Homo-oligomer: A and B are copies of this chain.
């Protein structure tokens, strides 16, 4: 009996081996065709990635999978592996330029400082004002009380509770993370699978794409323009959504433009997400620095929204690395799994500090930031630079009269002034730079004077 069954198993296995070999042969044939496509495209100067063609093939495979009773999700995952290889094969001959970002400039600036240079930091989103004094007391107290143990993955109950109260949700919908960045990271890692897509709206903080890259997800980009006031076109956004799209990432008040979208645009984005059951990652770390009416995505009660916030900007606590996310109970549970795997929990003294920070009045910081942005704005106007007046956040994103961002950024850095290249927020923004309002006016003035000089020599 067992012998016969094993024969059955053996025969099935032989068939599987043969089929596997056939599949591989066909895949190899496919790869060769993709290479030929790459050559033709190269001659024609056409982009490797063609969304329309990809979308057609995706629809075809989805239909075939449904008709044949094959798992659609599995079929699309497999297709993604094939498409990625095609893209890779097609791109192999095209050299990639390393991207300069505010982070890479910050790193260079730090190295120059370590070597003895004086640097004016207008490249980084790190307010220079002090964290609330009570935060220091909380640190000391947490040590005295021996509050430095593993905590619940999502955070200490008191902090979860305080955030829940502040945001008007139940405590199970909150997770405390090591910075807003890890909230973005764990949301994307938990909710988007390899080969699936997220849509970002550029110019954008590069973290969304970096996290998507990390999990092997694909990023599609909706580009906004200064001419249209950095407003995303919702119908364009709608046209980009495919069956493979899982998430839209938005960030208002925006880094780097300072834009806050109006209610109608936000309504449109949330409706779109709702219609297609997409996750809506709303990065609201600058919500406190909003000088135009700003409505959190939370107000829509959309169950697939993930709202990210942070203590970094509001309370000048960047180096404490503590932020949080608010989402559905189920989403938070999935994000907590990523957090448990990656870091166990956020450092307890840091959580205690965040809890105390939450009770502090940060309006002084907001007033100061607004004053600095006003100063920055009037000085940039004097320099005849074009930009959209920011509605919030901590930056201005002016267009350069000529030349490329990285050229200017590097020249300025040599002269001790660090600003961020616009292309760090999207490939198509090489004519822009981002200037932070995180330093005192005198310092910003000094930095801008230097920028003016360098720009004049340019023209």
Whether a CB of chain B sits under 8 angstroms from the CB of A281 is: no
Whether a CB of chain B sits under 8 angstroms from the CB of A77 is: yes
- In chain A, positions 3-45 with a C-beta closer than 8 Å to chain B are 5-6, 8-9, 12-13, 15-17, 19-31, 33-34, 36-37, 40-41, 43-44
* A346 CB to nearest chain B CB (Å): 7
Q: Are B342 and A182 in contact (CB under 8 A)?
A: yes
Contacts A5-B40, A5-B43 known; A319 to B185 CB distance under 8 Å?
no
Contacts A139-B140, A147-B319 known; A30 to B16 CB distance under 8 Å?
yes
Contacts A13-B53, A319-B349 known; A341 to B207 CB distance under 8 Å?
yes
Q: Are A150 and B126 in contact (CB under 8 A)?
A: yes
Q: Are A341 and B210 in contact (CB under 8 A)?
A: yes
Q: Are A343 and B20 in contact (CB under 8 A)?
A: no
Whether a CB of chain B sits under 8 angstroms from the CB of A148 is: yes
**Chain A: interface residue count, which band?**
35 or more
Copies in the complex: 2
Q: Are A318 and B150 in contact (CB under 8 A)?
A: yes
Q: Are B20 and A57 in contact (CB under 8 A)?
A: yes
Q: Which residue of B lies closest to A64 (CB)?
A: B24
Contact with B along A149-167 (1 / 0, CB 8 A): 1111000010000000000
Contacts A37-B13, A44-B5, A79-B20 known; A343 to B179 CB distance under 8 Å?
yes
Q: Are B28 and A22 in contact (CB under 8 A)?
A: no
State the main secondary structure of chain A at its contact with B: helix
One of B36, B114, B150, B345 near A124 (C-beta < 8 A): B150
One of B86, B130, B146, B349 near A146 (C-beta < 8 A): B130
Q: Are B44 and A15 in contact (CB under 8 A)?
A: no
Question: Whole-angstrom distance between the alpha carbons of A143 and B357 in the complex?
Answer: 14
A-B contact pairs, 11 of them (CB 8 A): A12-B33, A13-B37, A16-B30, A20-B30, A23-B27, A139-B139, A182-B342, A213-B341, A320-B348, A322-B347, A349-B350
Interface residues of A, Cβ cutoff 8 Å to B: 2, 5-6, 8-9, 12-13, 15-17, 19-31, 33-34, 36-37, 40-41, 43-44, 53, 56-57, 60-61, 64-65, 68-71, 74-75, 77-79, 81-82, 85-86, 103, 106-107, 110, 114, 124, 126, 130-131, 135-136, 139-140, 143-144, 146-152, 157, 178-179, 181-182, 185, 189, 194, 207, 210-211, 213-214, 216, 317-322, 338, 340-350
